[in-house]
Amino acid sequence: MAAPRKTLKLGAKGKSVTWLQERLKELGYRPGKADGRYGGTTLAAVWAFQKVNGIKPTSTIADRTWDALETPKTPKVLAANGKPTRAEVDLTKQIMVLYVRGEVKLITHVSSGSNVPYCETADWQGKTQRFCGSASTPTGNYRTTWRASGWHKSYLGELYNPIFFNGGIAFHGALSVPLYPASHGCVRLPMNVAQELPKLLGKGVPVHVRGKFKRV
């Protein structure tokens, strides 16, 4: 499949962007509608693709990314003996891969716990309380438990369509999903991914969290 090879920057429009979006979707990423507009939703999918393919994530689509789109790598399997349907979170690369019946169903950019200790004051359960923690997303093997639809208020903020898998730690949509770990411990997802994930990720599904993010 021959890539268009036109250098694209955020905000670009046209057929080359549509090709990019269609190709990313074909490979399991979620760039949003193939509308020929290179915005934030497509950017998050580009980041995920670049990270899987060993390219430093950037908003600019140039030769290395076009090359990889023609001959893409598949995500590294983190749980070699995992169930055919499972979610894998790679903290090193800040990506999540959902496998359904042994096939890659979805690959997305994420932002996990910042590992920066925090203390927050919040109005919770009728009174002002102070909450402190380590802001970490622990590695290990878990299973999805309860979930909520739409915006769910927690004592540390608002979570969109949260799917919990380790106590109070959940996959959830967020308006900010930067290129570095920034959450209190949850796994932040782009909003379009959080809209789709509840249909794909059921209750009691294994979640494997591996790796460690290295700040440059």
- Report the pLDDT value the prediction gives residue 131, as an integer from 0 to 100: 75
Residue 206, judged by CB atoms within 10 A of its CB (0-12, 13-18, 19+), counts as middle
Residue 89 CA, chain-centre distance (Å), reads: 8
Q: Residue 141, Cβ neighbours under 10 Å: how many?
A: 14
pLDDT tens-digit readout, 31-90: 999 999 999 999 999 999 999 999 999 999 999 999 999 999 999 999 999 999 999 999
Residue 216 pLDDT grade (very low, low, confident, very high; cuts 50, 70, 90): low
Question: What share of the chain has pLDDT > 70, as a percent?
Answer: 98
Task: Assign 3-state DSSP to the chain and report helix, strand, coil percentages, each to 5.
Answer: 20, 35, 45
pLDDT tens-digit readout, 92-117: 999 999 999 999 999 999 999 998 87
| Lowest-confidence pick of 45-59, 145-159, 181-195 | 145-159
Residue 165 pLDDT grade (very low, low, confident, very high; cuts 50, 70, 90): very high
Say if residue 24's pLDDT is above 90: yes
- Report the pLDDT value the prediction gives residue 207, as an integer from 0 to 100: 98
- Report the pLDDT value the prediction gives residue 93, as an integer from 0 to 100: 97
Looking at residues 181-200, what average pLDDT do you find? 97
Distance CA 28, CA 131 (A): 38
Torsion-angle region of residue 194: left (phi > 0), alpha (psi -120 to 50) or beta?
alpha
Four-CA torsion 53, 58, 62, 65, nearest 10 degrees? 10
Homologous superfamily of the 15-70 domain (CATH):
PGBD-like superfamily/PGBD (1.10.101.10)
Q: Are 172 and 187 in contact (CB under 8 A)?
A: yes
Location of structure tokens 């999540």: 96
**Residues acting as catalytic residues:** 172, 186
Looking at residues 195-214, what average pLDDT do you find? 96
Distance CA 6, CA 161 (A): 37
- Report the pLDDT value the prediction gives residue 126, as an integer from 0 to 100: 79
Let me know if domain 86-210 sits in CATH 2.40.440.10.
yes
pTM: 0.93
Residue 133 pLDDT grade (very low, low, confident, very high; cuts 50, 70, 90): confident
Looking at residues 121-128, what average pLDDT do you find? 76
Query: In the chain, what are the domain boundaries?
Result: 15-70, 86-210
